[in-house]
Each structure stands twice: as C-alpha cells, then as structure tokens.
Amino acid sequence: MSGEKIRLNTEWLCDCGGCHVALVDLHEKILNVLESVVIQKCPVLTDIKDYPEAEIGILTGSIRTEHDRHAAIEMRKKCKTIIAFGTCAVYGGLHGAGLAHSREEIMDHVFRKNPTTRTDFIPDSGITGLEKIVTPIDEVIDVDLYLPGCPPHPHFIFESLKTLIEHHQPRVDKSTVCAACRRTMTKTDVTEIKQSHEGIPDDDICFLSQGYICLGSATLDRCLAPCPNHGIMCAGCAGPTMQILTEPNRDIRTEVADRMSRLTRIEKETIRAHIERSAKTHYAYAMATKMIGNKPTFLIRKWIADVEAV
C-alpha cells in the first residue's frame, strides 16, 4: 500500500474483550495490516480517551450500559465506516440471554440476593447505569459492515480488513460450521438425545448422528470449526445462518431438528421440544437481535416458565 495510512479506531462496549485479543491473534499478519493502517484509539493498546477522526471504526460488544450507548454514538460521528465486530456487536452476544429476564431480576440476582456474597444493596456510584435490555449496536447507530464470530477467526479478520483496505467488494461466505468440520455425517439408528456429558462421542462421526445436539449446521462459519473438530458440540457462537436470519419460518431449533431427525431415528418434534427446554443456552448468542428475538415463534419466556413449572 502506498500513500497515507488508513486511520483505525476501535472501541470496546459490553463484551469479554476476546474480540480485541482476536485482532492481536493475527500474529505476524498484523505487521502487514500495520503497513497500511495506523491504530489510533484502541482500549487495549493506546491511551486515547476521546474519539479521533478515522476511516475505519471497529466496535466490539453490545449496548448494555449508558456508557456503551454514548461510545457507539461518538464512534459513529467520527468514523467513516463502522464495522460491527464480533457476535456481541452483531447480535447482542452471550449476555443477550439477559433478554430472558428483566433488569430488576438481573440486579436482584447479582446484587441484592446474590447467593454467593453478603452484599444486599445496589451500588449507586462509580458505574454507569444498566440499560433495560441488551441491544445490538445497529439498533442504535448505522452499521456499514458486520463481522460476526466469537471472536471471528483471524482468517476472516484478515480477509475483511484486506477487502476494506484494498477497496474490494466484501465476499459473503454463507457456509456453516459443518463445512469446516471433519466429522462424517452418517445415518444411524440412534433413538435418544444425549446430553453433552453422557457417554464418549465418536471422534469421526457427526454429533447429530450420535444423538448430541450440535448447532453447527445452523451456525455461520466464522471460526473454521475448532469446537466440533476437538470433540465439543457447536454452541452457535457466530450466530445463525443467513436463511434463519432472513426467513421467519426457519429457526435454529427447527433447522437442527430437521437435519437430526433425518440422520437418526429421533422424531423431529422431540428434538425441537428438547432444544426449547434449554433455549436460553442454544439461543444465548443471538436472541437479543430482532432478527431472532422478534420471530413470532420465539417464545423464550414461555419456554423458561414451562421448564420452571415442572
């Protein structure tokens, strides 16, 4: 790259910080990036408190507190292109599961009636106010590009930054986690759903074929499938596939149930009901986005109440 360097701001809203670590995970490739980019504001690298003008702004995390909202708006004012980076920014992320409870319930459980501490009051100074719900950033500011993933694999980060720096049209990859998984999908005679702690799954055969719930087929691949390739079922951390996001009649539980029922002898309805019973886990990463949360068939509070009633 020649000419002036592209200015980059990053800001850290409500998230674990893993997305910023993922940037460093570019390893030697970060040197290639730094040839064309100058990092200005970056909470883990530079001590800049305000928001300088920049070409690219990377926002990680979702909006959970009043500070998050302010930071997102300031970034939008100063950056030409805003990238919603990571699952929290795109869909609300893991803490989006807070949507299943009211703010009061959360405050009660964390502060007033926390089972593991003696505190019984809510702190009222030194921290910014908790918003009523978790909000993905595109509901507060305009977002130019989205890069989901928890965190996005450096392969996708590098490719994305490259397209931006070289002014290419981004190429959307629609493949799912299954596409990068090495397990073979075979049809089996399995008749029961297994919990992840039950039995020892075969290393070469698809989890669905073995009766374990794996969200790989309903999850966008922004990770290159490290979990299923190392014996852990996909938890859907990069968020649902395009067809689930855009079409109201498709959902995580129905898509997984459809495929799993064709691979095993377990009824589709049984699988669907099983996923609904543990929906707070299976929908955790994406339920805060309206693309999932507003589906008329997404009845998370009813499902939780049903489980608690038993």
Partner 1 sequence: MFAMFIDEKACRGCQLCLDVCPTKCFVFNEETKKSVVARLGNCIACMSCDYLCPSGAISHQDHHVVKNFYRNIHFSQRMEKFL
- Of residues 149 through 178, those in contact with partner 1 by CB under 8 A are 156, 159-160, 163, 170, 172, 174-176, 178
- Cβ nearer to partner 1, comparing 193 with 304: 193
Burial 105-136 (b: 16+ CB within 10 A, else e): eeeeeeeeeeeeeeeeeeeeeeeeebbebbbb
Q: Does 112 bind partner 1 (CB under 8 A)?
A: no
Q: Of 12, 51, 91, 146, which one interacts with partner 1 (CB under 8 A)?
A: 146
The least distance separating partner 1 from the CB of residue 134, rounded to whole angstroms, comes to 18
Angle between helix axes 29-36 and 154-165 (nearest 10 degrees) is: 20
- The residue (of 65 and 254) whose beta carbon lies closer to partner 1 is 254
Q: How far is the CB of 76 from partner 1 (least distance, A)?
A: 15
Could you say which of 42, 73, 130, 145 contacts partner 1 (CB under 8 A)?
145
Sites for partner 1 among residues 222-281 (CB under 8 A):
241-243, 245-250, 258-259, 262-263
In the DSSP assignment, the letter for residue 55 is E
Q: How far is the CB of 243 from partner 1 (least distance, A)?
A: 6
Q: Pick between residue 7 and residue 259 the one whose CB is nearest to partner 1.
A: 259
| Angle subtended at Cα 45 by Cα 39 and Cα 49, rounded to the nearest 5 degrees | 85
Is-contact 89 10, C-beta < 8 A? no
Contacts of 278 (CB under 8 A, 6+ apart): none
Q: Which residues are CB-contacts of 28 (< 8 A; sequence separation ≥ 6)?
A: none
Give how far Cα 7 sits from Cα of 39, 58, 229, 253, Å: 6, 11, 37, 42
Minimum distance from residue 46 beta carbon to partner 1 (Å): 24
Furthest C-alpha separation in the chain: 66
For position 6 contacting partner 1 by CB under 8 A, the verdict is: no
Point out which residues bind partner 1 (CB under 8 A): 83, 138, 143-148, 156, 159-160, 163, 170, 172, 174-176, 178-181, 183-187, 206, 208, 216-217, 241-243, 245-250, 258-259, 262-263, 291
